[in-house]
Structure 1
Amino acid sequence: MRHESRRNERRAALVPEDARKLIASGVHLTVEESSQRVFPTHEYAEVGCAIAPQGSWGSACPATDYVLGVKELPDEPTELTHRHIFFGHAYKGQEEAPRLLRRFEAGGGTLFDLEHILDAEGRRMVAFGYWAGYAGASLAVLQHRGELTAPLVSSSREELSRRLAPGAASGGVTALVIGADGRSGGGACDALSTAGIEPTRWGLDDTRNLDRGALLANDILVNAIASCRPVPPFVTKAELDDERRRLSVIADVTCDVGSELNALPIYDRVTDWVNPVERLRGDPRPLDIIAIDNLPSLIPAEASRAFSADLWPLLLSLREGSEVWDRCLGAFRRALASLGEGG
């Protein structure tokens, strides 16, 4: 398991207690040292992991090894030879997708994209979704109250819930969660409820027949859909200047910016921990968007434990092979083929 190269990424795909279970089942597990991971390196050593220097995976392990991570790889090496398991975000037409896929093509390596570990019905089996929704909605509430400060720092659910505690500023605030029946939507609804805001919850039927007036009449919008095909936009640029608009804060948990699947084509770049908010419209009716693509790292310990609990049994099945990993590999091969077709 590699160190995460993104400066504010504190999550781990595998936590020490689940690393212990893999090792007890005969897996050899090496963990890179990390200056930022929420779980100290010594906790992995104590459960039997071998420890390697930070950033050494490219040269220290055979190309047949699996390299496990959460977010993007560093820019080097340019040719990827190992079997990587992480969130590649490379199959939805994202701007950086061709470059990543060509690195695998050049080195003969393989990407097992965590976003595409699916069951037979196409449902995701491992995800940080709940915590992405919880964090995104939390930031939206704090921004609406004028209490969001930057740069952001990671914390615990307990601490974040304390900051969300209802106060006088919660009275009369309305919020809409699109995709409320999914993991991310459920987390968003829980955060809003913690803040004393009972959200309106929209599912698939509501988005098929979108009530734009009702959408714009809310103070806060959380987009938590997970779509595999383009949908009509939820908010258009023209509606930013609609006189009916009460909407003042959007949290785009999905963050499909740059993709044809983007349901909020009103902004063109993600925000980050240093600059978490982009102002789309100013006074007298301001509108802000929060679009951070590693939201769960704001609550890294809880998010990692939940994710790792789902992932570690699947990692065991890599030894024998399984339909789950075969489907994941098939998605990678189709993406490589699309490069050859000019995709």
Structure 2
Amino acid sequence: MTKIGIIKEGKVPIDRRVPLTPQQAKQVADDFGVEVVVQSSDIRCFPDDDYRNVGLDIVESIDDCDIILGVKEVPIEKLIPGKTHFFFSHTIKKQDYNRDLLRAILDKKIRLIDWETLTNESGNRIIAFGRWAGIVGAYNGLWTFGKRYNLFSLRRANECFDYEDLKNEFNKIQLPNIKIALTGGGRVTKGAMEVLIGAGIRQVTPHDFLNERFDEPVFTQLNSRDYNRRKDGEEFHRNEFYSNPEMYEGDFLKYAKVTDILIACAFWDPAAPVLFHREDVLKDDFDIRIIADITCDIEGSIPSTKKPSTIDDPIYDYNPSDDVVEQAMSDEGNITVMAVDNLPCELPRDASESFGNELVNNVIPHLLGNDEEQVIHRATITSSGTLTENYQYLQDYVDGN
């Protein structure tokens, strides 16, 4: 019988999320005829007793499991040789800080399947925490505005029991006639829009956002075509933009002239245009004062995102004159940045339940079945000590080149 183990998260700072809630873990065991055990943990949002109460064994070691399920990167010393590991490895973009992790996975002949690489036949991701990153990121952006201008005081998201509890804070949000720009169109953006609409902020078109004055706070949602343009002046084509981004240049500054809060949710390819440059921030007509950078691409499309922030210390100031990070809200000329890189951790129970539902419905049937659609095959990064065919491009990264 296949044995699946839910690992105790070992990354620091701690992550309280789980890949499967107690009820979902029990469902997997019953519906698929496998054994599911749970490594004892004093940090996860669902305590050991919650799993024990649905009939699952709590164990100290999961070394005898065939498949190990986790959320964040597993510390190298806790990787179990020869097993199948699922977690967000943060290696597929050749992230320097995880090169040694991927090397260790290869050395230990681990079969690594990254949650981020699980896709359907159309190439769309089938499991993610994106909606919850958007929800918490947008909420944090509003929290930051209230804090910077002493307008209202909200509980932090991680101080709320769950999303329903967090919604009780919405009626405290009293905004002046500001404009909020939201980039992107995927799960993260939709999550952010839930919060803005829930807080009573009206959505307007990009055209009206640019050209009209309002007597209430408003937001607009910007897709790639709204803030990128062909260098040759020809018509924007979405598929072309994603396949040949070098043919395009940024056209975001017209929005920066009328925006008070930027909530950045759009995936950014390093080959694509940036939203703006540091020099643009120094211009008199650049109005953005608060940026909630949910994408958190360091030194990426947004020059003020110089480093990630943390749940405990969620904001910092960006001084564009000197291009440096300063203490949050230390100068009115600065931009206040929220760039927490693990936003779903602030609502771990909701985020885990949503993620677990996708795992049960979209991944487990392929993992424990015959994988006819090659979902698991496509997502497997390493196997038996080598990179799989789809991930051979990582070899120079592994080699240190």
Structure 2 CA distance, aligned partners of 1:3 and 1:162? 32
SS, match of residue 169 in structure 2? helix
SS, match of residue 136 in structure 1? helix
Structure 2 CA distance, aligned partners of 1:287 and 1:317? 46
Give the aligned partner of residue 160 of structure 1.
Answer: 166
Residue pair 2:127, 2:355 contacting (<8 A) in 1 also? yes
Q: Which amino acid aligns with 1:174?
A: K
The runs of 5 or more residues in structure 1 that have no matched partner are none
Question: Alignment length, in residue pairs?
Answer: 332
Provide closer, same or farther for how the CA distance between residues 251 and 95 of structure 1 changes in structure 2, counting only shifts above 3 A. farther
More strand as a share of residues: 2
Give the aligned partner of residue 126 of structure 1.
Answer: 127
Structure 1 CA distance, aligned partners of 2:116 and 2:399? 23
Residue pair 2:311, 2:346 contacting (<8 A) in 1 also? no
Q: Which amino acid aligns with 2:64?
A: C
Give the aligned partner of residue 358 of structure 2.
Answer: 310
Question: Is the counterpart of residue 215 in structure 1 residue 256 in structure 2?
Answer: yes
Structure 1 CA distance, aligned partners of 2:289 and 2:143? 12
Normalised TM-score (structure 1): 0.88
SS, match of residue 288 in structure 2? coil
Structure 1 CA distance, aligned partners of 2:119 and 2:93? 16
CA deviations on 1:276-298 (whole Å, 9 max, x unpaired) are 11210352333111111211111
Residue pair 1:150, 1:274 contacting (<8 A) in 2 also? no
Alignment of 1:69-218 (within 5 A): 69-77=70-78, 81-146=82-147, 147=153, 153=159, 155-165=161-171, 167=173, 169-179=174-184, 181-198=185-202, 199-209=219-229, 210-218=251-259
Normalised TM-score (structure 2): 0.76
CA deviations on 1:171-228 (whole Å, 9 max, x unpaired) are 212211100x210000111112222323210112123232312134211111111245
Following TM superposition, by how much is the alpha carbon of 1:120 offset from its aligned partner in structure 2, in angstroms?
A: 1.1
Question: Is the counterpart of residue 237 in structure 1 residue 278 in structure 2?
Answer: yes
Residue pair 1:297, 1:303 contacting (<8 A) in 2 also? yes
Provide closer, same or farther for how the CA distance between residues 99 and 153 of structure 1 changes in structure 2, counting only shifts above 3 A. farther
Question: Is the counterpart of residue 16 in structure 1 residue 53 in structure 2?
Answer: no
Provide closer, same or farther for how the CA distance between residues 338 and 149 of structure 1 changes in structure 2, counting only shifts above 3 A. farther
Provide closer, same or farther for how the CA distance between residues 293 and 155 of structure 1 changes in structure 2, counting only shifts above 3 A. farther
Structure 1 CA distance, aligned partners of 2:80 and 2:47? 30
Following TM superposition, by how much is the alpha carbon of 1:237 offset from its aligned partner in structure 2, in angstroms?
A: 1.6
Provide closer, same or farther for how the CA distance between residues 150 and 166 of structure 1 changes in structure 2, counting only shifts above 3 A. closer
Structure 2 CA distance, aligned partners of 1:3 and 1:140? 31
Structure 2 CA distance, aligned partners of 1:80 and 1:148? 46
SS, match of residue 268 in structure 1? coil
Structure 2 CA distance, aligned partners of 1:250 and 1:177? 10
Provide closer, same or farther for how the CA distance between residues 38 and 77 of structure 1 changes in structure 2, counting only shifts above 3 A. closer
* Pairwise CA RMSD: 2.4
**Higher alpha-carbon Rg:** 2
Residue pair 1:13, 1:304 contacting (<8 A) in 2 also? yes
Structure 2 CA distance, aligned partners of 1:246 and 1:82? 52
Q: Percent identity?
A: 27
SS, match of residue 280 in structure 1? strand
Structure 2 CA distance, aligned partners of 1:7 and 1:75? 16
The runs of 5 or more residues in structure 2 that have no matched partner are 1-5, 148-152, 203-218, 230-250, 320-329
Residue pair 1:151, 1:273 contacting (<8 A) in 2 also? no
